[in-house]
Amino acid sequence: MAELHPLEIKLLQALKEDRKLSFDEIMAKTGISEDSVSRAAFWLSSKNFGKVERRQTTLVQLGLEGRRFLAQGFPERVLTRSVLKAGGKSPIDKVSSISGLSEEGAKIALGWAQRKKWIRFVKEEGRTVLSVEAEPNVGADERLVEALSRGPLTVEELDSELAAGLAILKRRPNALALTEKTDRSVILTEKGLEAAKKIVGVVEEVSQLTPELILTGGWRKVRLRKYDIKAQVLEMWPGKKQPYKRFLDELKWKLVAFGFKEMKGPIVELMFFNCDALYMPQDHPAREIHDIYHIKRPRRGDLTQYRKFVENVKKTHQDGWITRSVGWNGKFSIQEAMSLVLRSQGTALSARTLISKELEIPGKYYSISRCYRPDVVDKSHLTEFNQIEGIVVGKELTFRDLLGVLEKFAIEVAEADEVRFRPDYFPFTEPSVEVSAYKKGYGWVEFGGAGLFRPEVCIPLGISVPVIAWGLGVDRLFMMKAGIDDIRTLFTYNLDWLRRQELT
């Protein structure tokens, strides 16, 4: 049996009598590890000596609430027994006191007792009274908890009554803990059985000739292992970066290669930078709690070091100041500008950069920033997302330059086939544009907005040259590149999907 690995020989010998053993049984019988059993089973399978059978099972055991039910009894059982001891009837408002359950526990007990038809509600002297006629029979859910007290069970092996109990307990939070498990067994084929019968003894094999074997003469008693370079091997999953994280890192390198410098700023941001400095009116709906997260404590930050810019922005909002604008014709609240929020848009970093002493003109700047907005999570929305923000500051910049930068982004980063621009509106840019891109087999996707910063943004911050700016949904850029249609996949724990993402 020179063509067989020692691990294969051990498996054949273990399977010779029973023909079928689980991995656990093989490990106990041979003393080899699970990984070694898996490798040897794979090799035997590739030679038609054996085959691996997989059986998916679900392990069920008691959760936190289930263990409480076991120790203290089901709350509806506690309730009914207490009412029976009190004479079989109890006013609704006395249920908690006579049962010893908390108010919340009593509500839960009443709901489940009514659902199980253990109780009745009757009217007596104008008030609602709870009535219990007899001790209820033990239910399927109670029997399952009792059965699980002796240890975990597999869902597939439950009888009809316990399966009914499982269906009930699944509706009760934390009553059960369910775990998916794959049981693997090796089955010996006829060809494998013939090979096993021919094994009469196992000669020790070594993978390398050591000085000790040579000096002691031990090399005469062993056999050097032969290697089959054509043999199939198990799939290996080496460590690698999470696909989306890798994409963001590569994107940063591309931007640096294009000559961009990174902008940085806090996640907990002043409303001044998040909205006011961007010429968003203080009564704009985007400032409401439905569109922005407000910090509860502390509610406000310090604007002292930005006093000069705050005054400029205030006058611009009120009457336009020296920007040739009429402003928003309303009062400007410094208290509102001091409000602390979770950054809702990456453009806040652009405002901070424009007042920075390190700003270079001409200059190119970018950020890949985490932003937060209250939203309903679905396949296209998350409550937190990444936004790629960019500004270019220079004397000769035009709207055509902006369109060229956006098109290059869509084609080089998202690997789009076509790019489309539509007029749009943003409080801080004019003209403004919406960017969409198309990829064959994926369709059109809107990435975000862009434009030239308005004088009402630039002049109060001390900028006298054109600034082109854009804010794009980098999550969607990656989704198009990777062919993903559900944004939640970007942060998935699905190991199968993560393992099969190619390194590009």
Domain CATH code at residue 80: 1.10.10.10
Helix (H, G, I), strand (E, B) or coil at 38: helix
Q: Which of 137, 171, 186 is the last residue of a domain?
A: 137
Which residue type does 147 have? A
- Provide the residue range defining the domain that includes 424: 246-266+344-499
Buried b or exposed e, range 315-331, using 16+ CB within 10 angstroms: bbbeebbebebebbeee
Do the domain assignments include residue 338?
no
What residues in the chain have per-residue pLDDT under 50?
1-2
Let me know whether 445 and 366 are in one domain.
yes
pLDDT for position 2: 47
CA terminus-to-terminus distance, the chain: 43
User: Could you tell me the pTM of the whole model?
Assistant: 0.58
Distance CA 403, CA 341 (A): 32
Would you state the pLDDT for residue 202?
56
Neighbours of 150 (CB within 10 A): 7
Last residue of a domain, one of 211, 234, 257: 234
Statement to judge: residues 111 and 76 lie in one domain? yes
* 3-state SS record for 141-172: HHHHHHHHCCCCEEHHHCCHHHHHHHHHHCCC
Alpha-carbon gap, residue 193 to 417, rounded angstroms: 58
Instruction: Answer whether residue 290 is part of any domain.
Output: no
Tell me: do 23 and 69 sit in the same domain.
no
- The bridge status of strand 176-188 relative to strand 153-154 is unpaired
Q: Is residue 277 part of a domain?
A: no
190 and 50 in one domain? Answer: yes
> How far is residue 162's CA from residue 165's CA, in Å, rounded to a whole number?
5
| Whether 33 and 112 share a structural domain | no
Residues 103 and 132 in one domain: yes
319 within some domain: no
pLDDT, tens digit (0-9, with 9 covering 90-100), for 316-373: 999 999 999 999 988 999 999 999 999 999 999 999 999 999 999 999 999 999 999 9
**Same domain assignment for residues 127 and 252:** no
Q: Do 25 and 103 fall into the same domain? A: no
Q: Is residue 304 one of the residues assigned to a domain?
A: no
CATH number at 463 reads: 3.30.930.10
> Total structural domains in the chain?
3
Q: State whether 158 and 23 are in the same domain.
A: yes
365 within some domain: yes
| Final residue belonging to a domain, choices 137, 168, 194 | 137
457/365 same-domain check: yes
218 Cβ contact list (under 8 Å, min separation 6) = 212
Residues 44 and 84 in one domain: no
Report the sign of the C-alpha dihedral through residues 417, 423, 425, 426, in that order.
positive
Residue 272 counted as domain residue: no
32 vs 414: CA distance, rounded Å = 48
Residue at 320 is within a domain: no
Looking at the fold, whether 45 and 96 belong to one and the same domain comes out as no
